[in-house]
Amino acid sequence: MYKLIVVEDDRIIRRGICQSIKWEDHGFIVAGEAGDGEVALDLIRKEQPQVVISDINMPFMDGLEMGNKIKEISPKTRIIFLSGYEDFKYAQQAIKLKAFDYLLKPVDSEQLLNKAKEAASDWEMATREEMKIKESLPYLQQKFFQRLINDGDQRIDVEKELAELGVELEGPYYAAILIHSSIRLDEERKKSLIDISSSLFSNGSFSVVRIDSNECTVFLSLKDEGDVRKGQLAQKIIESLNFVEDAVTITLGRSYPNVFEIGKSLVETRLAMDLKHIMGKGKVFSFEDTVSSKEEKECLKELESELESQIKLGIPDKVSEALDQLNKAIVERKSLPLTDLKILALKFSTMLFFEVEKWKQEELKSFNTSDVYQDILKMETLSEMMKILNSLIFQWRKEMNKKDDKNHFSHVDQAIKYIKQHFHDSTLTLKKVAEYIHVSTPYLSNLFKLEKGFNFGDYLLEIRMKKAMEELREADIKTYEVCEKVGYNNPQYFSICFKKFTGYTPAEYKKQFK
């Protein structure tokens, strides 16, 4: 927003100027108003406005005297004078002051608004020209390309601004490569980039620009879309600048037939660079290498769900397998931004913390959840995520083994012993058994299948049916009494289960032993 100050001794006219025009709708904010030049100068000194609208004939200090002082305290401010006197001497003095304009009262609101817009535009142009003189060209280039990377090229006249910044390329194809270094890319290293580029490209066919202290971009003029020199240049740069292992990573944007599309190529290099945590540091790779299909993204979601399920089932070895599969898929598809990777790591580390907490026997001196979360927030690569999650799985397995060592037989054996003692309890469930031996329900269910080759329900049915068969063989007992003894409330349901297990109804089975 441009700052505007109104100076007018007539209060009604002053309020009319401030309120009759919707200044904010046109990019202005009224930063202050004053009834004379002396008060106005304090406001102008403080606010440094782009535009001042002032009456010329005022008490204490008139507009012309105030204008002279404004040139000292806010030289960039544009002044529009208003006067009710058709006297040439006022206009003549306003011209000498280099006032932006001189309007006669009464002033039409639309006319005044247009003049204010023109004054603000004039201030903008002069400020930009002054910046170009005051600031170095590399600085302006840096700011432009940072804006291009962040905002894209939709709102920027790329071709025009490139020319203004001294970046001129011959074509007919254009592309960008982005160089990221863990070591500062100072002017000396920028000169090295220019020398390397000169070995493959002639003057006018490339331009090296620093984006920040750790990144440079090289804009290229190519012979055709498949010009191999783009890749050759990237390889030569990485060989020359990789003075420290994996110090430099380079990404390539696609080639385009129009110079204004070079902004797309630069944005593509940034998108590719954001995946260096997966692709690997100290390498050269292109935007095409990082593009993945919808099917590949769906596959990653499925693998994430599988890992989540395995953690809930409670078998560390299975969790390790699922995590390895997810890791391989991310590497193959190269499609997970670092932010998403951190979110993934936070999610699964939280789930693994929960499992470790369930099993640990005492406080772990070397196990601090806050430290792990900080490591996740600082991580920069997929391999770091794998290291963090695998360490949690290791801790989980370690705590489980500690508890197993204290028990003389496995959890399944403990569960079987409990079932044998409580099979007559009609409320007996897998959850109840798991709670008794302090493990999760999915974990115990999985263990039954892995260790014994059968599930909980089948084992409980077998125990109950064998006891029922024993009762029916050896005693003159009613079916409903057997039903209650083996943990069933419903005699009809018991009979169905018994026949399914033995092939006989309880009555038919009992007759065989009379």
Same domain, 218 and 340: no
- pLDDT of 510 reads 83
Measured CA angle at 131 (ends 127, 137), to 5 deg: 150
Residue 490 and residue 462: Cα distance in Å, rounded?
Answer: 18
More confident residue, 422 or 262: 422
Last residue of a domain, one of 404, 436, 470: 404
DSSP 216-254: EEEEEEESSTT-THHHHHHHHHHHHH--STT-EEEEEPP
Phi then psi dihedrals of residue 452, to 5 deg? -110, -15
Q: What is the pLDDT of residue 41?
A: 93
Strand partners, 52: 5, 79
Residue 136 has pLDDT above 70, yes or no: no
Same domain for 363 and 477, yes or no, is no
Is pTM beyond 0.75? Reply is no
- 459 and 445 both lie in a single domain: yes
User: Which of 103, 132, 161 is where one domain is finished?
Assistant: 132
pLDDT confidence bin for 513, thresholds 50/70/90? low
**pLDDT (0 to 100) of residue 34:** 92
- 40: CATH: 3.40.50.2300
Q: Do 278 and 178 reside in the same domain of the chain?
A: yes
Per-residue pLDDT band for 502 (boundaries 50, 70, 90) equals confident
Residues 473/465, Cβ–Cβ less than 8 Å = no
Tell whether 244 and 269 lie within a shared domain: yes
pLDDT at 362: 55
Given a cut of 90, whether residue 51 has pLDDT beyond it is yes
Mean pLDDT confidence for 189-216: 82
Give the pLDDT confidence score for residue 408 in this predicted structure.
Answer: 39
- In this predicted structure, the answer to whether residue 347 has a pLDDT above a threshold of 60 is yes
Q: β-pairing, 51-55 with 101-104? A: unpaired
* Residues written for the chain: 514
Residues 6+ apart with CB under 8 A from 366: none
Give pLDDT tens digits for 283-318: 888 877 766 555 666 777 888 888 888 887 777 888
Residue 202 confidence (pLDDT) above 50: yes
Judged against a pLDDT cut of 50, whether residue 365 lies above it is answered with: no
The total number of structural domains in the chain stands at: 4
Nearest-angstrom CA–CA distance, 258 and 102: 46
* 183 Cα distance to chain centroid: 24
pLDDT value at 208 more than 80 = yes
Contacts 24+ apart (CB under 8 A), 137-143: 137/165, 137/166, 138/209, 138/210, 140/165, 141/165, 141/166, 141/167, 141/209, 141/210, 142/209, 142/210, 142/211, 142/212
H-assigned helices in 274-337: 276-279, 294-313, 316-333
* Residue-level pLDDT at 404: 55
| The pLDDT value given to residue 47 | 92
Same-domain status, 194 and 275 = yes
Instruction: Let me know: does 458 contact 498? Beta carbons within 8 Å.
Output: no
Q: Domain boundary at 70, 103, 132, which? A: 132
Query: Can you tell me whether residue 458 is helix, strand or coil?
Result: helix
- Given a cut of 80, is residue 111 above it in pLDDT? yes
Q: Are strands 78-83 and 101-104 parallel, antiparallel or unpaired?
A: parallel
Mean pLDDT of 20-32: 92
Distances (CA, A) of 420 to 15, 234, 460: 94, 71, 8
Residues 225, 144: one domain? yes
Answer with the residue of higher pLDDT: 31 or 404: 31
Assess whether 282 and 213 both reside in one domain: yes
pLDDT at position 30, please? 93
Task: Please tell me the predicted confidence (pLDDT) of residue 291.
Answer: 61
pLDDT, average across residues 363-379: 67
Strand partners, 34: 7
CA triple 166-169-172, angle to 5 deg: 160
Q: What is the pLDDT of residue 300?
A: 79
d(CA 289, CA 364): 43
Residue indicated by tokens 């010329």: 56
CATH classification of the domain holding 147:
3.30.70
Q: Could you tell me if 396 and 422 lie in one domain?
A: no
Of 30-34, 94-98, 217-221, 301-305, minimum mean pLDDT range:
94-98
CA pair distance 227, 36, nearest whole angstrom? 68
Do both 94 and 177 map to the same domain? no
Residue 188's pLDDT band, with cuts at 50, 70 and 90, is confident
Residue-wise pLDDT tens digits, 434-460: 888 888 888 888 878 777 777 888 889
Q: What percent of the chain has pLDDT over 90?
A: 14
What end-to-end distance do the CA atoms of the chain give, in Å? 103
Give the pLDDT confidence score for residue 28 in this predicted structure: 94
CA 93/CA 162 separation, integer angstroms = 42
Nearest residue to 104 (alpha-carbon basis) of 118, 122, 87: 87
Alpha-carbon distance of 79 to 467, in angstroms, equals 105
What is the CB-side half-sphere exposure of residue 309 using CA atoms within 13 A? 9
Q: What is the spatial order of strands in the sheet that 206-212 belongs to? A: 206-212, 215-222, 173-181, 248-252, 284-286
**CATH number of the domain where residue 487 is located:** 1.10.10.60
How confident is residue 329, by pLDDT bands cut at 50, 70 and 90? confident
Query: What is the span of the domain harbouring residue 450?
Result: 411-511
The DSSP call for residue 108 is: P
Q: Compute the mean pLDDT over every residue in the chain, rounded to the nearest whole number.
A: 81
pLDDT at 430 over 50: yes
Output the pLDDT for position 164: 66
> Same structural domain for residues 89 and 214?
no
Closest C-alpha among 342, 310, 177 to residue 255? 177
Q: Which of 156-170, 303-317, 333-347, 370-384 has the lowest mean pLDDT?
A: 156-170
258 and 308 share one domain: no
Beta bridge partners of 176: 219
Characterise 108 by phi-psi region: left (phi > 0), alpha (psi -120 to 50), beta (else).
beta
